[in-house]
Amino acid sequence: MKHLTIPGVLFVAAATALSGCAKLDGKVTVGGTLNSKGGAGNAVLTANASRCDDEVKGQATYKDQTALDWQNVGGVAFNAEVYDAGFCSDQPVHPDHIGDSTKHCRQDVCTGGMYQADFTYKSTNSKTPGEGKGFICMIDTGNGVSSGFGATGLLKTMQIESGPYQGYSNAGTMSGNVQISACPSDKSNKS
Partner 1 sequence: MNFTHKKTMIAASIATLFSFSSLATEPVRMVLEAKANSVAEIKQKLNDIGVQINKELPTLDSFAITLEREQLADIANLNGVSAFYPDVPRKLMSESGTELIPYGLPMVQGDQVTYQGGKKVCIIDSGYSLGHPDLPVNNVDGANDGGAGSWYEDQLGHGTHVAGTIAALENNQGSVGVVSDESLPMHIVRVFNSRGEYAYASDIAGAIEDCQAAGSNIVSMSLGGSFSNPLEERAINQLARDGVLMIAAAGNAGQAQHSYPASYDSVVSVAAIDDHKVHAPFSQRASQVELAAPGVSVFSTVPEGRGHRDNPAMTVEQDGLIFQGFGMNSYTNELPDGTVSGELVDCGIGDESCGDVTSKICLFERGGFHPSEVEGGWPTPITFGDKINQCAEDGGVGAIIRNHLPGPIPGTVDNISIIAGTVTMKQGLTLLENVGKETTITVHSYPNHSFKSGTSMATPHVSAVAAVVWSNFPECSATGIRLALQASAEDLGETGYDHKYGWGLVQAKDAIDYIQTNGCKAPNGKIYGGDGTPR
User: Rule CB under 8 A: which residues touch partner 1?
Assistant: 1-5, 7, 10, 35-42, 66-69, 150-151, 154, 169-173
Question: Quick one: 154 or 180, whose CB is closer to partner 1?
Answer: 154
- The answer to whether residues 48 and 59 touch, using CB atoms and an 8 Å cutoff, is yes
Find residue 59's DSSP bridge partners.
Answer: 48, 81
Q: Which is nearer to partner 1, 151 or 182 (CB)?
A: 151
Query: Minimum distance between the CB of residue 173 and partner 1, rounded to whole angstroms?
Result: 4
CA distance 11 to 153: 21
Distance CA 84, CA 81 (A): 9
- Nearest approach in angstroms of CB 174 to partner 1 is 9
* Nearest distance from C-beta of residue 184 to partner 1, angstroms: 31
Three-class DSSP category at 9 = helix
Question: Of the two residues 20 and 75, which places its CB atom closer to partner 1 in the complex?
Answer: 75
Q: How far is the CB of 64 from partner 1 (least distance, A)?
A: 11
Task: Give 102-155 as a DSSP string.
Answer: GGB--TTT--TT-EEEEEEEEE--TTS--EEEEEEEEEETTTT---SSSEEEEE
Residue 113 CA to residue 50 CA, distance in Å, equals 15
- Residue 66 or 107: the one with the smaller Cβ distance to partner 1 is 66
Of 4, 14, 1, the closest CA to residue 112 belongs to 14
Question: Shortest approach of partner 1 to residue 143 CB, angstroms?
Answer: 17
**CB closer to partner 1 out of 22 and 67:** 67
Angle at 18 between CA 14 and CA 20, to 5 degrees: 95
Q: Of 105, 114, 60, 110, which is closest to residue 82 (Cα–Cα)?
A: 60
Q: Which is nearer to partner 1, 15 or 182 (CB)?
A: 15
**Min dist. Cβ of residue 183 to partner 1 (A):** 28
